[in-house]
Amino acid sequence: MPLPSGDTVWPPASLALVTERLNAWSAWYSGNPDELEYAYSLGHYGLGYDATSQARIYNHPAQYRGGVVGRLARWYWGEPVSVNQRRSKLHVPLAGDIATASADMLFAEPPTINTPDDEKTQARLDVLIDDGVQAKLLEAADTAAGLGGVYLRVCWDLDIADRPWITAMHADGAVPEWQWDTLKAVTFWRVIFADEKQVVRHLERHEKGFIYNGLYQGTRENLGKLIDLAAYPETAGLEPEIPTGLDRLVVTYVPNMKPNKLWRNIPSAAPLGRADIGGSEGLLDALDETWSSWMRDIRIGKGRVMVPETMLESLGAGKGSRFDAEREVFMGLNMLDTGSGGLTVNQFAIRVQEHKDTVTEQIQTILRAAGYSSQTFGISDGKNRMNAQTAKEVAAQERRSLITRDKKIKYWRPALQELIETLLMVDRNVFQSGVTPVRPDITFGETVQEDPSTIAQTVQLLYAAESASTRVRVEMVHPDWDQEQIDEEVERIQAEQQAASPLSVPGPADGMGGLPGPGTPDPLAMDAQMNGSGGY
């Protein structure tokens, strides 16, 4: 039977180390202080949080214990909160910011997906990969950066759609199986129902040619027995076995970054990627401690006024007394003269610069470990730049971030090519589209774009020097145009030039139309500057 037997530890014991770290990464990625407390409260890295748990344990004996267990529990987020004291810990959601920046660098500009020499397939592909696909890729890239990788799955349902679509499956809800470093099978799981006594899980297993569904009733640690899929509405419409008709999986795994230094010696986990914050959990913990200390300085730095007891106004028998700081007139009181009318004002110093410098250094260290430049996150290098920067200057400042982006593209491009080919296969087999599944060409958009005025100046100089043809200049101003659009624009420019100067002599540099004399403004340069077109 492809699905696991009921009496099975879940998640599998072979992935215990992976599960622990994914739980911790998930807590940092979520940006939720409650999740961080859950993840560290049990004193065993990552096991303090369980999505199926209904009772959360905040203070645990391990937090007061020595040794390795006690040391892990005594992280800042593992320290117990004293009884009758409110939580004063604050969280800087830097892990989520890093993941979002990673996704933006990859897919803020949609990738170009083309099927060479097949217009029919390209037309159908354009329908399949509409704007929803770019949003899904942004979501997938964000998740991959936060959890070390993501699974992209092709789905279809004849009752709700006339085409297949793509979904992103998170790494902490998947159990992969590998053959060498290739995904051989994967089982996705989710919790349908949970209480103190039982946990109901849905398992979806993908193999070559088949998808299997199973519903299990067990406990937090055990998968339990297999029950009818119709027992819960979330799985009532699913078939136990679904043939795909393909000699491949309809799932593709995209690692965020390799190698994973934590699991490189674990065969079942070595092909997995690592999160951008992998190895920086301690720094993130220290950053939250520093930020909380800064806010504590502000909180306790509020001015305090101490007054003699004789200045307090009685509220009546048994009701205590109070001091009205807004009162303007007090009756004469018999007290010693301290030079301040009996009032003592305490104002504690707030160490703003010390905390700010520490926070900045911690953030820069975390970003550097993740492979990003500080400028990507709006952190200045201290240099005053008054003028607009060129694309080369921006690229130089963000060189580390752009290198990281290029490395991630090397994982994303082959995975997307395989996924799109699988999408076309499902579209042909299930929806009878008649397309020819091919492996497409994928070009990622540029993140650093040249300033339009810089492009206009360059085009004008080339025009005046008679060193570039009309076609070359059109391609510079409109790099996103195809050959047909470029040809049409060249013809329009030539027609306008001939209409304006019918006696012009064809220039040697142009080769496709006359060039007016030096000093004449280039219409392409004016178009680039006025319309803001162009790219780098």
- Please give the C-alpha separations between residue 387 and each of 55, 262, 383, 384, 452, in angstroms, as whole numbers: 57, 45, 12, 9, 15
Q: How far is CA 426 from CA 84, 150, 244, in A?
A: 59, 21, 8
203 phi and psi, to 5 degrees?
A: -110, 135
**CB within 8 Å of 536: residues ≥ 6 apart:** 391, 446, 448, 449, 450
Helices (H) and strands (E) in the chain, counts: 14, 15
- C-alpha span between 104 and 288 (Å, rounded): 25
DSSP letter for 441, please.
E
What are the tens digits of pLDDT across the range 157-196? 999 999 999 999 999 999 999 998 899 999 999 999 998 8
Render pLDDT for 48-81 as a digit per residue (tens, 0 to 9): 334 333 333 444 444 444 444 444 455 788 776 6
**222: β partners:** 9
The CA-based angle 61-63-65, given to 5 degrees, is 75
Are 488 and 478 in contact, with CB atoms under 8 Å apart? no
Question: 473 and 462 in contact (C-beta within 8 Å)?
Answer: yes
Residue 527 pLDDT class (50, 70, 90 cuts)? low
Q: What pLDDT, in 10s, does the model give residues 261-316?
A: 888 888 889 999 999 999 999 999 999 999 998 988 887 777 666 666 666 666 66
Confidence of residue 322 (pLDDT cuts 50, 70, 90): low
Show Cβ contacts of residue 157 under 8 Å, excluding neighbours closer than 6 positions.
Answer: none
Beta bridge partners of 241: 212
Residues in the chain, overall count: 536
Averaged pLDDT score across all residues of the chain = 80
What lies within 8 Å, CB to CB, of 232 at 6+ separation is 192, 193, 200, 202, 215
Task: Report percent pLDDT > 70 for the chain.
Answer: 71
Least trusted range by pLDDT, from 51-55, 473-477, 482-486: 51-55
Q: What is the mean pLDDT of residues 523-528?
A: 61
pLDDT at 509 over 50: no
What is the pLDDT at residue 526? 60
Q: How many Cβ atoms from other residues are within 10 Å of residue 476's Cβ?
A: 20
**Tens of pLDDT, residues 104-156:** 999 998 899 998 778 899 999 999 988 689 999 999 999 999 999 999 999 99
- Residue 216: half-sphere exposure toward Cβ, Cα within 13 Å: 26
Query: Which one-letter DSSP state was computed for residue 512?
Result: S
Query: Residue 228: CB partners within 8 Å, gap ≥ 6?
Result: 215
